Structure 1
Amino acid sequence: MSIDQQTQPGSIEAEATPVRRPAPTAFPYREAMSRPMIRRARKLAKRLTGKDLFPTAEQIEAFHGDMYHADPVAERFVDEVFYGEIGQERGREILKQALAHGIESIEDPPESMVALFREFEEVPEWVDPALVEAGAQIWRRWGTFLFSVAGGETLEMYTEAAVATPLSLAGGYAGDNALRRFLETSRFWIDVSEPGALLTPGSKGRATAMLVRVMHVSVRRRVADHPEWHIDRWGIPISQAYMLLTLSGGSVVPALALWLVGVQTTRREIYALIHFQRYMGHIVGVRNTWYPETIADTLRLLALVSTARSHDSGEHGAELIESFPKAFAPRGGHTGLQRLREEYNGRIYAAYSRLFMMPWTYAKYRMPNAWPGLGWIALRFPLLAAVETARRIPPIGRLHETVMVAHRESWYRAQMSGREAEFDASGALRR
């Protein structure tokens, strides 16, 4: 039975018969918003701008309600195919075949697979193809800067057990596996932002998105059944709410944060990113009750989540945070240009971790020395700012994008050392 079909006490309610639940106890937003300092800040913001610092009551309720929602269409597919008579190995084979050649190439496909691909292939009416492509183009011209800012900013949320526990149990971002899983995520970012990738049937980007969607289901169902997971405390693993935060982490947050290193993204471009992320989220199974479609609403949501954090991930969060910059350090036996490149990556990712984490969060963990990398970031800032100005001239902009795309692929290949991304989380949890 899939996690969206369970109805026993303490389990995840079926979405066909939704039950309004209180916010998970590890998301104490009411208590957080009632703090005297927060109340004063809200009053000041309303007096100066006429706007609240946080989302509306209805939006907040929608957000914490989504902490109990998963991806029922993909859940049913995984239950029927991967955990049914077909099995995981053959199930992945027919899934990849359908992604490459269409579901019509599968003889007598399972009903749940037909439903999954019907939803996957239908483009919602709200999608603006031009905006989707414009957002993807921004990711392309960011190149490896996307990897750096996304990796660094994600560390901030590893303080939350709702985020850290599934990753820790699966082992993907912990210890020696940190680099491998991060590179798989980088492959996803590359594939979905290739020209036309999200809107072209049979594209590699859409195939990668579906594999990630199914991978989320595999992790979600095993973590949900694990004794370390508590639904009343955190909602469900990899919930709609936390997938929404991941989308914000690919649009507004990096666009603003990258100004710190000289990469400039305009307001108009950020709105294209928001739309691109919304559609990318759609094809990986994100079905939010409320999606913030403006920069202001996104920042209000982030303010809410930051204020209501529990900092409850303990040693599991510490392992995830501390493993990330260390993953880029030079590896044993490597010499010459390869070792030099790893030395640079280790220092620059230590700097990015320092730059994109809050100082009070960063100070709690054992992190490598960030100052050599921070010095380099400061020295190159004027050059990057000049390039960002020059790229607004169309021919230079096209050349800049070509260079950045080539560099991100070269960086990825060098790190992978001949391996390929699998997007497979079917193995056993590590504890």
Structure 2
Amino acid sequence: MTMSGAGDGGGRVPAAFLLGRPGRWPGGRTVDRALRACTGTGLHPAADQVHAVTDGLFPADPLAERFADEVLDRPGGRAMLDAALGPGGVAAVPDAPEAMRALFAGFERTPDWVRPELVERGAAVWRRWGTMLFAVAGSTTLEMYTEAAVATPLSLAGGYAGDNARRRFFETVRFWIDVSEPGALFTPGSAGRSTALRVRVMHVAVRRRVAGHPEWDEDRWGVPISRTWQMMTLLGGSVAPALALWPLGHLTSPAEMRALLHFQRYLGHLLGVEPRWYPETVADAVRLLLLVLDARSRDSGAHGAELIESFPAGFAPAPGRTGADRLRGVYTHGVHAGYAWLWTARRTWRAHRMPSPLPWIAVPLLRAPFVAAAELAGHLLPPVRRALERRGARHRERWYARYARGHVAAYEATSGLRR
């Protein structure tokens, strides 16, 4: 268990974050009581860990916010950021302002808890998963769009809504690829590190605009894009997909799941996500996921519905496509509908206008035994595992080139809110 620092939330709990209801599913309360009787810990994390989670719904990223206020918003600020993201770092910017030096000092510092070999092992799992990471991460996120705390910033910014959903999703895919290349997170000037800081600064811009919007209610939801919700995104790239992919044959081991947690924790550090508590074990990660799932108020309404329905729709064949290109689009749309059905709660699925998963859900299910055989061979034979990693990395690059259609990820929030 990792617990650090003092909280900045003042002990507040947002009204929409409904605590004290473990096991909100058939048999859940019985399981919770049994676990408490046997282990002393139920389905949810311990009380001090829960406090750290709720505390993290209010603070955000003071270093990046100061940088945005004092540097980025001024003439030449973005050019200075571009220069500092090169191999020379902030030293390449003559007379860099103090706010910029402070941001980069934290960004370039490797915390004492970091184990580079564990970070690299987690990144290697992402490469082995290939495009399945994109499918599982995109689909499992739909369940969080039921929460206004998550959906409102995205709806106001417009990136994942309507016709923009496909474009922003592929920007996220490019981010996932860049940060999981070998050595990417430890190489100054790498695309992975540069992208991480650009995303961090972009979050500041969106956070400020949303926080000042009349639709945002801090007492109900905390701050926009808070540390806690960003931490949930990190879990959405580690234990959650690892467990979700097991039925499809992707046999991620417990040791690999712990490596994924460490990889995501260090990525979170680069993104400015410094929670007081971060789970280090698979069991604690699952407890945190259950805490947040049980605490949901399902209050996103039409904003969440738009986000949920936009994801599978974004893979539909583009108008005017014919022949093999259109058939490829039909297949991709259908398979992603199948993935979304597989990883979305039936209650959520029925409440929205979603495409039929049939017959496409059969594709990953029929493929699962062959995937499992390859995964098992990879666990037994390191050369096979490395070959699977290389194959997954090549496949995701080809997939991105084909479906991103030349879009260049910008990671900027220069436009205003949609409403």
Q: What TM-score comes out, normalization by structure 2 length?
A: 0.95
> Moved runs in structure 1, 4+ residues, more than 6 A?
34-37
Aligned to 2:253: 266
Matched, 1:92 2:78: yes
Is the CA contact 2:7–2:56 (under 8 Å) kept in the aligned structure 1? no
In structure 2, give the amino acid aligned to 1:416: A
Matched, 1:394 2:375: no
Aligned to 2:158: 171
In structure 2, give the amino acid aligned to 1:421: A
Distance in 1 between residues matched to 2:133 and 2:24, nearest whole Å = 35
Distance in 1 between residues matched to 2:404 and 2:365, nearest whole Å = 29
Matched, 1:335 2:325: no
Aligned to 2:47: 57
For residues 89-131 of structure 1, the C-alpha deviation after alignment (integer angstroms, 9 at most, x for no partner) is x322221111113211112111111101111000000000100
Percent same amino acid among aligned pairs? 55
Matched, 1:192 2:179: yes
C-alpha RMSD of the superposition:
1.8
Is the CA contact 2:24–2:294 (under 8 Å) kept in the aligned structure 1? no
Deviation at 1:336, TM superposition (A): 2.7
Deviation at 1:338, TM superposition (A): 2.2
For residues 253-301 of structure 1, the C-alpha deviation after alignment (integer angstroms, 9 at most, x for no partner) is 0000001211110001001001101000000100101111111111111
Matched, 1:143 2:130: yes
In structure 2, give the amino acid aligned to 1:145: M
Distance in 1 between residues matched to 2:403 and 2:199, nearest whole Å = 20
Distance in 1 between residues matched to 2:98 and 2:278, nearest whole Å = 30
For residues 193-237 of structure 1, the C-alpha deviation after alignment (integer angstroms, 9 at most, x for no partner) is 000000111111100100010011111010000000000000000
In structure 2, give the amino acid aligned to 1:115: A
SS at match of 2:184: coil
- Name which of 39, 53, 68 aligns with 2:58: 68
Is the CA contact 2:8–2:59 (under 8 Å) kept in the aligned structure 1? no
Matched, 1:225 2:215: no
In structure 1, give the amino acid aligned to 2:85: L
Distance in 1 between residues matched to 2:283 and 2:166, nearest whole Å = 33
Deviation at 1:154, TM superposition (A): 0.2
For residues 117-171 of structure 1, the C-alpha deviation after alignment (integer angstroms, 9 at most, x for no partner) is 1110000000001000000000011110000000000000000000000000000
Matched, 1:409 2:384: no
SS at match of 1:164: helix
- Are the structure 2 counterparts of residues 245 and 34 from structure 1 closer, same or farther at C-alpha, using a change threshold of 3 Å? closer
Matched, 1:375 2:362: yes
SS at match of 2:284: helix
Deviation at 1:28, TM superposition (A): 1.7
- What is the correspondence of 1:62-141 to structure 2 with a 5 Å cutoff? 62-83=52-73, 85-86=74-75, 90-100=76-86, 101-141=88-128
The size of the alignment, in residue pairs, is 412
Distance in 2 between residues matched to 1:261 and 1:34, nearest whole Å = 26
Distance in 2 between residues matched to 1:284 and 1:316, nearest whole Å = 26
Distance in 2 between residues matched to 1:16 and 1:427, nearest whole Å = 35
Is the CA contact 2:67–2:103 (under 8 Å) kept in the aligned structure 1? yes
Is the CA contact 2:61–2:272 (under 8 Å) kept in the aligned structure 1? yes
Structure 1 unpaired stretches of 5+: 1-14
- What is the correspondence of 1:353-368 to structure 2 with a 5 Å cutoff? 353-368=340-355
SS at match of 1:175: coil
In structure 2, give the amino acid aligned to 1:211: R
Matched, 1:418 2:406: yes
- Single out whichever of 95-104 and 136-145 deviates more from structure 2: 95-104
Aligned to 2:10: 20
Distance in 1 between residues matched to 2:110 and 2:222, nearest whole Å = 29
Deviation at 1:422, TM superposition (A): 0.5
In structure 2, give the amino acid aligned to 1:120: F
Distance in 2 between residues matched to 1:91 and 1:417, nearest whole Å = 30
In structure 2, give the amino acid aligned to 1:130: E
Deviation at 1:50, TM superposition (A): 4.5
Deviation at 1:398, TM superposition (A): 2.1
SS at match of 2:57: helix
- What is the correspondence of 1:157-168 to structure 2 with a 5 Å cutoff? 157-168=144-155
In structure 1, give the amino acid aligned to 2:401: R
Q: What TM-score comes out, normalization by structure 1 length?
A: 0.92
Structure 2 unpaired stretches of 5+: none
